[in-house]
Amino acid sequence: MSTYALIYEELTSDISFDVAEEFLLTRLKLSRETVDDFFKGKPVIKAQVPKIDTLQAFMEKAGIKVSKQRPPIAPAEATISHVYAKLLSLETQIEQLTEKADSYEQLKPSEAFNNFSQNMKDGLTKATSAASSFKDSSASKLDQFQMATADQEEFVAQPKPKGFNWIALCVGGAYYAGYGNLKKGLTMAIAAGLLPTFAIFMHIYMGFNANKVLPVKQVKFQWKFLGAALAAQTIAVMIFFAVMSTFNLGYYNPENIVKDSVYPDNPSKTIGGGLSNNPYFSEETWSTSVNAAGNTVTEFRGDVDFNKYVGRRAGTDVIQQKHIDRVHQYSISVTYIARFELSDDNDSLMRTYSALITKNPEGEDATLDSDGLITSEVYANRPLSLVIDLISVMN
CATH code for the domain of 37: 3.30.1390
Total number of domains in the chain: 4
Residues 395 and 393: their CA atoms lie apart, in Å, by 5
Residues 280 and 378 in one domain: yes
Residues 345 and 313 in one domain: yes
Mean pLDDT by 10 residues, the chain (395 residues): 81 79 85 86 84 84 84 55 56 66 51 54 56 52 49 65 89 88 88 86 89 87 90 89 65 77 80 90 92 86 94 86 90 93 69 88 90 90 92 81
15-43 as b/e, with b when 16 or more CB fall inside 10 Å? ebbeebbebbeeeeebeeeebbbbbbbbb
> Which of 154, 178, 193 finishes a domain?
154
Q: What's the pLDDT at 267?
A: 79
Residues 297 and 389 in one domain: yes
- The string of DSSP letters for 255-275 reads HHHHHH-EETTEEEEEHHHHH
Phi, psi of 332 (to 5 degrees): -95, 135
344 located within any domain: yes
159 located within any domain: no
Residues 371 and 267 in one domain: yes
Q: What's the pLDDT at 128?
A: 55
Residues 273 and 236 in one domain: no
Q: Residue type at 171? A: V
> Which of 107, 127, 154 finishes a domain?
154
CA dist 220 → 13, 214, 292, 298 (Å): 18, 12, 63, 56
Residues 271 and 387 in one domain: yes
Residues 148 and 41: their CA atoms lie apart, in Å, by 9
Residues 262 and 359 in one domain: yes
21 located within any domain: yes
Tell me the residue range of the domain where 297 lies. 254-394
Residues 324 and 359 in one domain: yes
188 located within any domain: yes
Q: Is the pTM of this model over 0.75?
A: no
Residues 254 and 339: their CA atoms lie apart, in Å, by 12
Residues 260 and 343 in one domain: yes
Q: What's the pLDDT at 133?
A: 57
> Which of 154, 181, 199 finishes a domain?
154
381 located within any domain: yes
390 located within any domain: yes
Residues 385 and 268 in one domain: yes
